[in-house]
Amino acid sequence: MQKLLLSSLVATVLVANDTSVYQMDTISVSASPVHEHNTFDSPNQINVIQNSEKTLKATASLGGILEEFSGVNNIATGPQAGKPVVRGMSGERVKVLSNTSATDSQTYGIRHILNTDPFIADSIEVVRGAQGVLYGSDALGGVVNILSPKILSAKEGETKIAGEVAGEYHTNNNERMGGAKIQTAQGKLGVNVAVVKREADNFHTPDADTWKKGDPAIGDKPRFSGELPYTNFETTSAFAAIGYTDEWGDVALQHTYWQSFQNYLGHTAGPDFNPVASAGQKLTNNETQLKSELFLGEWIAKPMLSYTFNQREAATNTPYENMESKKATADYLEIQSNRLDWRFAAEHPQLGDFIGEIGFEGFDKDQELLEGKLSPSATEKGRSIYLFEEADYEKWIVQVGVRYDHKSVNAPLDGNNAQFVTEGIFDATNNEQDFSGFSGSLGATYRLTSNWNLAGNIARGFRAPSIFELYAGGVHGGVQAYQKGNPELHAESTLGTDLSLRYKDEKTKASLGMYYTTIKDYIYLANTGATQTVNGILLPIMQNEQTDATMQGFEFSIDSYVSDSTNLEGGFELIKGLDTSNDRKLTMMPANNLRLAVHQNVGAIGALQNSIFSLDMKYAASQTVAGSYEPFSQYNTMPFGSADTKAYTLWGAGYNADIAIGEQKAKLGIKITNLLDTKYRDFLDTYKGYALGMGRDISLTLTVPFNL
């Protein structure tokens, strides 16, 4: 069965050569550590995007790829920097995993990007809801699991070679991508290799009248339109893995390298508010992982060891091309992080109706501030134990688990940290802290009929505050603010419930879900209303605060073949976040939204097979800031831009086809986003205060697989 991408900014459809046969579901490895489940039967709400599907989506933004799922949104800063928002929760509350292991990429800032290129991954899975027992603490909103290609194995004396070469081009920002992946096996030994390179110039918004000195004191004209300076980037990523598979189990060693140079557009202080590179960045991440599954009689041992080295270099008001000139000055920042993660899990044989896994996990992180002042040198240690059990009855799938986490944080008072102590960010009374808590979950799927099921979960989650949330103190160039931590923060805890009704037959898959989560000691970044002058620049002061909150919403999605050649997709999300302690809205809440798409397979057009034309639409409702305490709210009182956003509708179009190359079939994709070059601002776009959203873009992708 061959897979074809049928979308422009919508989810993927899979069809077979015989269009009367449909694959309406996929297998998820994140649904359970002891069983593979299809997404329809899992108690969790899970979406999976697979290799060829995500490649043809033509974006390096992880949030941009995933926002087409109902319940997932994107905090965007340009076309590459995109952080996923799951059911209204973002940042540290959405746990990003690399092959089920925690990542640590210094992504604490709103604009900080995740250190991964989606092309390297074989598939990406999104799990909604607080399933901390399965994935560890911090997964209050959900989990994004980035899965590398599996290690191949072959029969004795047999050789397998498979892979693909891909290219991508965007007209809006002259973005170019080239990548290649190879999987090979010689008997029981397998090797995977991948590499990808991206470069892009400044991106463009629709042309619009811009604010100029002398315009009315308060207005909503953007300060910049057309080509936005300081929005270029270049990224390189590589992956290598070697594995061995035998009757006793398997073992694999893999390494991922990622480096990115990023510029972010900002503006100077009045009266002219001229463009400036609010921050140039050089980001480097190296991750090495050793994993194994060992069959020990009726037990399966699952040891894992992972080491991550992460380096962040940034220069305030300086593009990355000139960063070197700022070293050893107050404008330069360099932070390094070394992190060792380990896990030992054992899957036990069936006991009564249940099969399950017990696991021990831990991490040791050493963060070192080498230059500048934003986040201090500190160490972090975590230890946890968990138990997960699952039973599969004729009508029911039941999952239950419990977990205990302990985390300690220590920020020394000397060395480069002395500047934080001098300014009163932290002191000897609060520079060492311990957090601990229990979490647990109970989930079940009930098969009403062969086509209908009902799934529900109740879960308690736990998340300790991070080094940055506790002890930050300094200029955060990416958001043009002076940011302060709060050493008085408590750990967050949640109690969440969700319920979904699902339908599936040979041609249609649909789901209607609702959720309600209470969050005690919810941590949020607040605009204090105060300012601080740093190097002659007046900056707003933002500090982490806490409150009690609730998050609630509805999600609906449908994917249906109305005929053998016509596919309709759609979905909507309604979401509401409340600060219950102060009876007001939560900050950074996505707008209610609706997506629709139609895909028409017209068959062959000359040498182009399975030609599919697509038309899609996204509607986002208007949204207002929660109050003056919300980040970027200052743009409601500035002479240009707006923190509030109006409702907008974006249209897109696409074309996808197969091209026969010998026995292989290359995949061609043409995708037009913002087809009508609509002027709009998205509420979660961090440029909304002084620029419009991205204008029309035509992207071309070509993927050529090979199998020897």
Check if the beta carbon of residue 512 is closer than 8 Å to that of residue 499: no
**How far is it, in rounded angstroms, from Cα 120 to Cα 442?**
34
- Of 129 and 413, the one with more pLDDT: 413
Tell me the HSE value of 23 on the side-chain side, using a 13 A CA sphere. 16
pTM listed for this prediction: 0.90
Of 341, 342, 255, 354, the C-alpha closest to 302 is 342
331-357 core/surface letters (b: 16 or more CB in 10 A; e: else): bbbbbbbbbebbbebbbbeeeeebbbb
Phi and psi of 417, rounded to 5°?
A: -75, -15
**How far is it, in rounded angstroms, from Cα 103 to Cα 113?**
12
Of 465, 447, 464, 467, the C-alpha closest to 455 is 447
**How far is it, in rounded angstroms, from Cα 541 to Cα 260?**
28
**Beta-carbon neighbour count of residue 604 at 10 Å?**
12
Tokens encoding 257: 């390298």
Q: What confidence score (pLDDT) does residue 253 get?
A: 96
Partners of residue 382 on adjacent β-strands: 363, 407
- 418 pLDDT more than 80: yes
Q: What confidence score (pLDDT) does residue 10 get?
A: 32
Residue with tokens 């440029």, as numbered in its chain: 687
Residue with tokens 């900056």, as numbered in its chain: 539
Q: What confidence score (pLDDT) does residue 127 get?
A: 87
Give the three-class secondary structure for 485: coil
Partners of residue 181 on adjacent β-strands: 164, 194
Task: Kindly write down the DSSP assignment for every residue of 100-164, as one continuous string.
Answer: TEE------STTPPPS--GGG-SEEEEEES--HHHH-TT-SSEEEEEEPPPPP---TT-EEEEEE
Rounded mean pLDDT of the chain?
A: 88
* CB proximity list for 670: less than 8 A, separation 6 or greater: 654, 655, 656, 698, 699, 700
Pairing of strands 608-620, 233-246: unpaired
**Beta-carbon neighbour count of residue 648 at 10 Å?**
17
Q: What confidence score (pLDDT) does residue 2 get?
A: 29
Q: What confidence score (pLDDT) does residue 683 get?
A: 96
- 176 pLDDT more than 90: yes
Partners of residue 159 on adjacent β-strands: 186
Using CB atoms within 10 A of its CB, is residue 608 exposed (0-12), middle (13-18) or buried (19+)?
middle
> What is the longest distance spanned by two Cα atoms in the chain?
79
Q: What percent of the chain has pLDDT over 70?
A: 94
**How far is it, in rounded angstroms, from Cα 401 to Cα 28?**
19
Tokens encoding 628: 């003056």
Q: What confidence score (pLDDT) does residue 23 get?
A: 59
Band (330; pLDDT cuts 50, 70, 90): confident
| pLDDT (average), residues 2-16 | 31
Domains and CATH numbers, the chain: 27-707 (2.40.170.20)
Of 267, 282, 316, 291, the C-alpha closest to 148 is 291
Q: pLDDT tens for residues 69-104?
A: 899 999 988 888 888 899 998 888 888 888 777 777
Distances (CA, A) of 385 to 34, 239, 492: 17, 31, 19
- 17 pLDDT more than 60: no
- Of 527 and 649, the one with more pLDDT: 649
Q: What percent of the chain has pLDDT over 90?
A: 66
- The letter for the amino acid at 653 is A
Check if the beta carbon of residue 445 is closer than 8 Å to that of residue 397: yes
- Positive/negative CA dihedral, 7, 9, 12, 13: negative
**How far is it, in rounded angstroms, from Cα 473 to Cα 451?**
55
Tell me the HSE value of 47 on the side-chain side, using a 13 A CA sphere. 29
Lowest-confidence region among 88-92, 457-461, 487-491:
88-92
* CB proximity list for 429: less than 8 A, separation 6 or greater: none
Using CB atoms within 10 A of its CB, is residue 271 exposed (0-12), middle (13-18) or buried (19+)?
exposed
Tell me the HSE value of 596 on the side-chain side, using a 13 A CA sphere. 4
**How far is it, in rounded angstroms, from Cα 165 to Cα 316?**
38
Lowest-confidence region among 370-374, 549-553, 660-664:
660-664
Using CB atoms within 10 A of its CB, is residue 541 exposed (0-12), middle (13-18) or buried (19+)?
middle
Check if the beta carbon of residue 277 is closer than 8 Å to that of residue 318: yes
